[in-house]
Amino acid sequence: NAGVTQTPKFQVLKTGQSMTLQCAQDMNHEYMSWYRQDPGMGLRLIHYSVGAGITDQGEVPNGYNVSRSTTEDFPLRLLSAAPSQTSVYFCASSSSYETQYFGPGTRLLVL
């Protein structure tokens, strides 16, 4: 099992550009989530999904879109990047009663 994989590892964007952060898991987990980590603020939930076709907003959803067409994949889209979206992004997956497994993260710099 590869677990939770994220691509790219690092990305530099200019303000206004769009991009998709990829997340995939091979554990057949029904739950998947996206968090951002900023210094002194811990991890904050952006969006989450409880199954294919079902997504919902977390604490900081503005500026981000998600979709879940398959159990395995949960991409995070930035439609028009802003410097405030400079952060480290973590994807996670889990099943009921089970641990959330985290991916290695994507470092995003928006200039």
Partner 1 sequence: AQSVTQPDIHITVSEGASLELRCNYSYGATPYLFWYVQSPGQGLQLLLKYFSGDTLVQGIKGFEAEFKRSQSSFNLRKPSVHWSDAAEYFCAVGPFGNEKLTFGTGTRLTIIP
37 burial (CB, 10 Å; 0-12 / 13-18 / 19+) is middle
Minimum CB separation from partner 1 for residue 27, in Å?
13
Q: Per CB under 8 A, does 34 bind partner 1?
A: no
Q: Per CB under 8 A, does 11 bind partner 1?
A: no
For partner 1, the binding residue among 32, 60, 66, 78 (CB under 8 A) is 32
For partner 1, the binding residue among 53, 98, 109, 111 (CB under 8 A) is 98
* Tokens matching residue 93: 């997956």
For partner 1, the binding residue among 5, 11, 86, 100 (CB under 8 A) is 100
Task: Using CB under 8 A, count the residues that bind partner 1.
Answer: 28
Residue of 33, 46, 39, 38 lying closest to 95 (CA atoms): 33
For partner 1, the binding residue among 44, 52, 63, 86 (CB under 8 A) is 44
Cis peptide before 61 (omega within 30 of 0): no
User: With respect to partner 1, which residue has the nearer C-beta, 32 or 81?
Assistant: 32
Number of Cβ atoms within 10 Å of the Cβ of 73: 14
**Cβ contacts of 98 within 8 Å, gap of 6 or more:** 29
Cα–Cα distance measured from residue 35 to residue 52, given in angstroms and rounded to the nearest whole number: 19
> For binding to partner 1 (CB under 8 A), which residues are involved?
31-33, 35, 40-45, 48-50, 58-59, 90, 92, 94-100, 102-105
